[in-house]
Amino acid sequence: MNVKEVIARVERIESLPTIPPILKKILSIIEDPNVSLNKITEFVSTDPTLTARILKMVNSPVYGFPGRISSISHAMVILGLNAVKGLLLGVSVFEIMQKNMIGLWEHSLSTAIFARIIATKKELQSPEEISIAGLLHDIGKVIFIIAFKDEYLKLLESARIKKQYIYEVERDYFGITHAEIGGIIAQKWHFPSKLIEPIMYHHRPQVSEKFKLETAIVHLSNTLAIARGIGYSGEIFVPSVHVYTWELLNFREEEIVEIFKEAEEPLYATGENFLSDE
């Protein structure tokens, strides 16, 4: 398949008939580079389901504010515009993930939890924002599912049968990977580089330019989430952590063990909490 045609099709994703109306509205809002916190607050507040899902997410153990955020406006102030735009997109694709790629949402949540824990250990200023990058790192798979559902589901099966990484079969068929597609779409939606680079380079952290640490954290978090075995990312193997990431983050073996231990409670609690009444 011609890569230019693939990119052109996913960039017209808002016009595809398979995209849910609510996601179409969300995309039209976050695509506006001049959108304000007030406008997003107003939009979310008109949709009770979306409001409940956002509040449940920000009060879940993923973000470490259990029971403290009672309104969308409060969430906006604490998390900031960029993180909320990412969170809005993340929770809006929940049903697409659940219906089309069982387990991808749980994998994304797990990656977000590991990313927040690691970002906190590395004393980054906005661990919640890195957590959002973890939540969205596989958004390119959702884009592929929306734009090329039949072909993509066959590719997942092909990767399983051939025992290849999913990004390898994507590149063979589409000429581009879900990580690259996710990065391109994140640019189109005017996300900041702090979110774009971890999404685009989460399989190639060594080529990140401006946000090397953030990208390395999402790369490691994705691998730890797969290794922990919660959800389904499409991979049948646990990918190797790039040596560049080990050198940059400089964790000792016992610190990795501690990260796994810290993640256990939020992994369990978030799964129970978020999925219980869906």
| pLDDT digits 0-9 by tens, 85-113 | 888 888 888 778 878 888 998 999 999 99
Closest alpha carbon to 92 in 24, 185, 183: 24
Retrieve residue 204's tokens.
């190639």
Q: Is the distance from CB of 228 to CB of 110 less than 8 angstroms?
A: yes
pTM of the model: 0.89
Q: Looking at the predicted structure, is the pLDDT value of residue 166 above 90?
A: yes
In Å, the largest CA–CA distance within the chain is 49
Note the pLDDT of residue 143: 92
CA 82 – CA 87 distance, rounded (Å): 9
Structure tokens at 71: 């309104």
The CA-to-CA distance between both ends of the chain, in Å, stands at 37
Q: Could you tell me if 190 and 30 are in contact, meaning their C-beta atoms sit under 8 angstroms apart?
A: yes
- Sorted by sequence, the CB contacts under 8 Å of residue 46 that are 6+ apart come out as none
Q: In which residue are the tokens 């200023």 written?
A: 125
What does the pLDDT read at residue 26? Answer: 87
Write the DSSP symbol of residue 204: -
In 3D space, the residue among 78, 108, 102 whose CA is nearest the CA of residue 90 turns out to be 108
Give the per-residue pLDDT at 137: 95
Most confident of 64-68, 83-87, 218-222, 233-237: 218-222
What's residue 57's pLDDT? 84
Residue type, 150: D
Q: What is the arithmetic mean of pLDDT over 145-158?
A: 93
Length of the chain: 278
Banded model confidence at residue 197, pLDDT cuts 50, 70, 90: very high
Are 205 and 241 in contact, with CB atoms under 8 Å apart? Answer: no
- Mean residue pLDDT of the chain comes to 89
Query: How far apart are the C-alpha atoms of 221 and 131, rounded to whole Å?
Result: 10
Cα separation, 113 vs 206, whole angstroms: 22
User: Average pLDDT, stretch 14-27?
Assistant: 80
24/257: higher pLDDT: 257
Average pLDDT of span 217-244: 94
Find, among 138, 118, 98, 152, the residue nearest to 233 by Cα: 138
* Predicted pLDDT of residue 273: 60
